[in-house]
A = this chain, B = another copy of it.
């Protein structure tokens, strides 16, 4: 597993732990703004994980595709992801 994937994995595991904590916060009736801030932190981790996945995708799959003349399809594919990503 490459370095970027390892980082993504770590961020996802941290996000999972945070979400468990947030569920507990709601059960304990904690203040909404604190809950909301924790959800935003977890969103930030998922965003970072996604960036890391996309970065190594560009550096490996998209690179390979460009070297074999099929890069444009890969770019279309990645743009569809970014379209959704920029809206989350």
Residues of chain B within 8 A of A71, CB atoms compared: 59, 63, 66
Residue from the set A12, A46, A51, A85 with the largest chain B CB neighbour count within 10 Å: A46
Asked if B19 and A15 make an inter-chain contact with CB atoms under 8 angstroms apart, the answer reads yes
Report the minimum CB–CB distance from A87 to chain B (whole Å).
4
The answer to whether B50 and A43 touch across the interface, beta carbons within 8 angstroms, is yes
A86 to chain B, nearest CB (A): 5
Interface residues of A, count at CB 8 A: 55
Contact of A43 (CB < 8 Å), options: B13, B20, B43, B55: B43
A44-69 contacts to B, CB under 8 A, are 44, 46-47, 49-51, 53-59, 61-63, 66-67
A59 vs B66: C-alpha distance in the bound complex, in angstroms? Answer: 9
Cβ 8 A contact of A88, one of B27, B40, B49, B55: B40
